[in-house]
Amino acid sequence: MEDKDIVKIFLDTREWQTFECKRAAIKPADLIETVVSLANSDGGYIVVGLEDPAKAEEDKRLLGISENADNVSDFLKLIDKEIEPPLVLWGKFELNIINVKGEQDKLLVLNVKKSNGVHSLRRGDTFVRRGRQNVKIGSSEIMRLKYEKGDIKFESEKSGVRSLTDIDHDLFLQYKNDTSSAGLDDWQFLKDNGLAFGDNGKYELTKAGVLLFGKNPSVTLSNKCGIKITHYYGTKPTYTGKPNFVTRPFSIEGPLIKQIEQTIEYFRKIVKSSPPKLTGATFTPTFLIPEWAFQEAITNAVIHRNYFVQDDIQVRFFDDRVDIESPGTYPGHITVENIRAERFARNPLILRTLNRFQAAPNLDIGEGVDRMFKVMEERNLYEPLYFPPTIRANTVLLILLNIHKIEYWDVVSKYLDENYRITNKKAREVTGILDILKMSRFLHGWLEKGLLEKVGTAKKDCYYRKPGQEAPKSLFSRGVDNKIIKGNLSN
């Protein structure tokens, strides 16, 4: 994209969770707070030299960094000096503009990535981003954020369980056999694998040990850590009269691998009992989602959820989709934009242990999410929908649509990835559809499925984008040294 195209996008973007524009005249210390807020939250962009949209319109906002070049220089120096621990996942680039005086000028764009850890200013203040505000948080919320990020690991904490009486012994023996460890002392084996603390005959399970092998971790840990299944007739819940449940909602508890297995077994029952549909001269199933895609989704939810949060994973079945909602937002540096390519384990002990079962539900080769997209595509189904925290706060919501794609979606989806937004007119150009009303019906259908969101109400200013997407994917890594980023990621 050319500079003028990117500038146009920034001019059209409102200040919010992942976007801030500032004049170059701002105090550098105030701008640093925004950098910390974005790093601690979902990442985003800061455009320096661009006036607040509430104070000017269109090109009159293009003040440029020449308004106070010294401030800009001081600000960049403070990023390295005033943030602890040092910020790694960020970069900068410049855009050429003609400023309000008609002179050649530049905008400075900072691309701040969501960080793996929690950052503070050297003076001790910690900020997060809420809407368009930088909010200072206290010790309890800092603690919560550290669990969310994976700075503090719930799974590695002591559980208070000093006896193996209440573990699932058959499952534990199976695991020892699967890892060629049958002859080893139970406690020593658990300790050697990070699932227990202790020595000299006094041992205590970690919370990961309880989650993986406890008969009922929810009871032992006094914490909701199961899977809640809700199955509906139709495409949405009814809130008046009789609930439209296929079966009464129920919870699956027990060791994590058994939770996964029982949830997949319920999925199989749905597939088996779904009535076939006559398409042309042949009968086709009405439940189209491939089992492997569902298994990957459930396994990811169990492995990567935030167990510090007191809630169950929610799995909701509808005729046209499956919703999978796991407690806690995306771990570490993971975002909707990079989830197919990047890796970060909030619960590495749980990940490793499940992977070492012979019948492991997870491959742990870094291809799971990407493969889920490919499997859905092979079946001509819509791509999995991960919703960003700006739309669904404090949870990871994944929707698997039980619907065959309309042939034009791939073209529109690719255009949106590269160009961020699309209008009815542009959609007709890229798809070859000539009828404006026909294109409107397609766009409205994608809106209803959650594949698109509409921005603006006036006809001439209205456009569509993927949910929560604030910029073209081509900008996500611009100005950032990817070698530095990849060198600082955890598996």
Model pLDDT, residue 462: 85
Residues 138 and 163 in one domain: no
Q: Of 218, 249, 264, which residue is a domain's last?
A: 218
* Tally of structural domains, the chain: 4
Whether pTM > 0.85 for this model: the answer is yes
Residue 390 shares a structural domain with residue 416: no
Q: Is residue 139 part of a domain?
A: yes
Identify whether residues 240 and 389 lie together within a single domain: yes
Residue 347 belongs to domain with CATH number: 3.30.565.60
In a domain, 489, yes or no: no
Query: Is 429 a domain residue?
Result: yes
Same-domain check for residues 18 and 144: yes
176 and 48 in a single domain? The answer is no
- In a shared domain, residues 53 and 105: yes
What angle separates helix 348-356 from helix 291-304, to the nearest 10 degrees? Answer: 140
CA distance 169 to 171: 5
The enclosing domain of 431 has a CATH number of 1.10.10
252 and 338 part of one domain: yes
Q: Report the C-alpha gap between 362 and 241 in whole angstroms.
A: 41
What's the average pLDDT block by block, 10 residues per block, for the chain (491 residues)?
87 87 92 96 94 90 95 93 93 94 96 94 94 94 93 95 96 97 96 94 96 97 96 91 93 97 96 76 79 95 95 96 96 90 92 94 74 93 92 92 93 90 94 94 94 80 84 66 35 28
Question: Residues 417, 343: one domain?
Answer: no
In a domain, 481, yes or no: no
Last residue of a domain, one of 382, 401, 420: 401
Q: Within this chain, do residues 198 and 240 fall inside the same structural domain, yes or no?
A: no
Boundary of a domain, candidates 401, 429, 456? 401
| Domain that residue 179 falls in | 154-218
Indicate if 278 and 382 belong to the same structural domain: yes
Q: How far is the C-alpha of 378 from the C-alpha of 405, rounded, in Å?
A: 11
The answer to whether residue 487 is domain-embedded is no
Task: Evaluate whether residue 355 is within a structural domain.
Answer: yes
The domain that holds 92 is classified in CATH as 3.30.950
Is the residue at 173 inside a domain? yes
pLDDT value of position 281: 64
Cβ atoms 212, 255 nearer than 8 A: yes
pLDDT for the residue 108: 96
Comparing CA positions, the residue from 360, 222, 388, 248 lying closest to residue 303 is 360
Structural domain includes residue 338: yes
